């Protein structure tokens, strides 16, 4: 391995490979040389070739199959990536001063729709937290969240007037599986009040369900203020 002296970076290799695809030297469905041969050609390690090809595959330019090798994609599929920050970090990254406000936190029997949605046993209890996130006292996000008590028994002692339920969960059960959806919903009277929009206005909404080793932990609906956009470059 000549790791310490190599001068070809994986970015150089990505550019070279993309250039060959663009120029038509490597047409769609062309089988690429194997990684060892490319490492020799580019005078670099196989690790470097591997990283370049894997990123090009993630970006949709190549298709990699375990035994069949790496081919040029015929129909490039693009992957969009969004970093999901804590709302505090999102507000501060835009230069705002973050403020959190608890609206309500109540232990209750899971409502029927939630029990069905999370596959809870009838009668299982949840803590229902509603809270607001502000940027410079301007409404940024209204959060409506249910936390399953059997999955996180400590939640009954949590003080959500001092810390938001998402930050509390990240500290308490950081390693979860997440299902995340984006959708457009409609401001009802309550939401319109909290977000300071007209009733009936479209509201960009993110919905998250998280599980800890198969147990449902929480469902959260996050409603963003007017004009919010989730943007990425790819």
Residue 117: phi and psi, rounded to 5, are: -65, -40
**Least CB distance to a copy of itself at residue 200 (A):** 6
Cα separation, 118 vs 211, whole angstroms? 9
Applying CB under 8 A, the span of 114-122, 158-166, 188-196, 203-211 interacting with a copy of itself comes to 203-211
- For a copy of itself, the binding residue among 116, 182, 188, 199 (CB under 8 A) is 182
Least spacing, CB of residue 140 vs a copy of itself, in Å: 15
Instruction: Indicate whether 205 belongs to the interface with a copy of itself (CB under 8 A).
Output: yes
Among 29, 181, 188, 190, binds a copy of itself (CB under 8 A): 181
Q: Pick the piece of the chain touching a copy of itself (CB under 8 A) from 70-78, 96-104, 114-122, 153-161.
A: 70-78
* Cα 211 to Cα 48: distance, rounded to the nearest angstrom: 35
CA distance 214 to 168: 20
Tell me if residue 35 falls in helix, strand or coil: helix
State the minimum distance, in angstroms, from the CB of residue 86 to a copy of itself: 7
Q: Is 183 in the site for a copy of itself (CB under 8 A)?
A: yes
Of the residues 15, 34, 43, 79, which one makes contact with a copy of itself according to CB under 8 A: 79
The single residue among 6, 12, 33, 46 that binds a copy of itself, judged by CB under 8 A, is 46
C-beta of 60 vs 96, nearer to a copy of itself: 60
Nearer to a copy of itself, 53 or 126 (CB): 53
Phi, psi of 46 (to 5 degrees): -65, -30
Distance set, CA 216 to CA 116, 131, 221, 222 (Å): 12, 21, 15, 18
Dihedral sign from CA coordinates of 65, 71, 77, 83: positive
Mark 135-174 with x for binding to a copy of itself (rule: CB under 8 A) and - for no binding. -----------------------------------x---x
- Residue among 2, 4, 65, 75 that touches a copy of itself (CB under 8 A): 75
Cα–Cα distances (Å) from 192 to 131, 185, 210, 221, 223, in that order, read 14, 12, 27, 15, 10
Smallest separation, CB 106 to a copy of itself (Å): 28
Q: In terms of Cα–Cα distance, which of 218, 109, 103 is closest to 154?
A: 218
Concatenated DSSP letters of 38-64: HHHHHTS-HHHHHHHHHHHHHTTSEEE
Number of other CB atoms surrounding residue 110 within 10 Å:
23
Which residues here bind a copy of itself, judged by CB under 8 A? 1, 18, 21-22, 46-47, 50-51, 54, 61, 75-86, 170, 174-175, 177-186, 200-205, 207, 228-234
């Amino acid at each position: 391995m000549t790791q310490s002296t190599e001068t070809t970076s994986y970015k150089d290799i990505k550019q070279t490979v993309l250039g060959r695809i663009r120029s038509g030297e490597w047409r769609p469905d062309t089988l690429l040389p194997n990684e060892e041969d490319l490492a020799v050609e580019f005078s670099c390690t196989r690790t470097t070739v591997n990283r370049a090809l894997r990123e090009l595959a993630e970006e949709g330019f190549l298709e990699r199959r375990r035994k069949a090798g790496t081919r040029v994609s015929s129909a490039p599929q693009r992957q969009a990536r969004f970093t999901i920050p804590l709302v505090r970090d999102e507000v501060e990254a835009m230069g705002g001063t973050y403020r959190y406000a608890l609206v309500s936190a109540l232990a209750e029997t899971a409502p029927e729709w939630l029990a069905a949605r999370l596959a809870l046993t009838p009668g299982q209890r949840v803590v229902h937290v509603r809270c607001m996130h502000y940027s410079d006292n301007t409404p940024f996000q209204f959060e409506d969240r249910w936390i399953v008590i059997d999955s996180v028994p400590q939640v009954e002692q949590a003080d959500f007037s001092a810390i938001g339920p998402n930050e509390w969960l990240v500290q308490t059960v950081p390693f979860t599986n997440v299902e995340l959806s984006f959708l457009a919903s409609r401001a009802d009277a309550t939401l319109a009040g909290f977000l300071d929009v007209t009733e009936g206005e479209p509201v960009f909404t993110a919905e998250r369900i998280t599980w800890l080793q198969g147990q449902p932990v929480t469902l959260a609906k996050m409603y963003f203020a007017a004009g919010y956009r989730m943007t990425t470059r790819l």
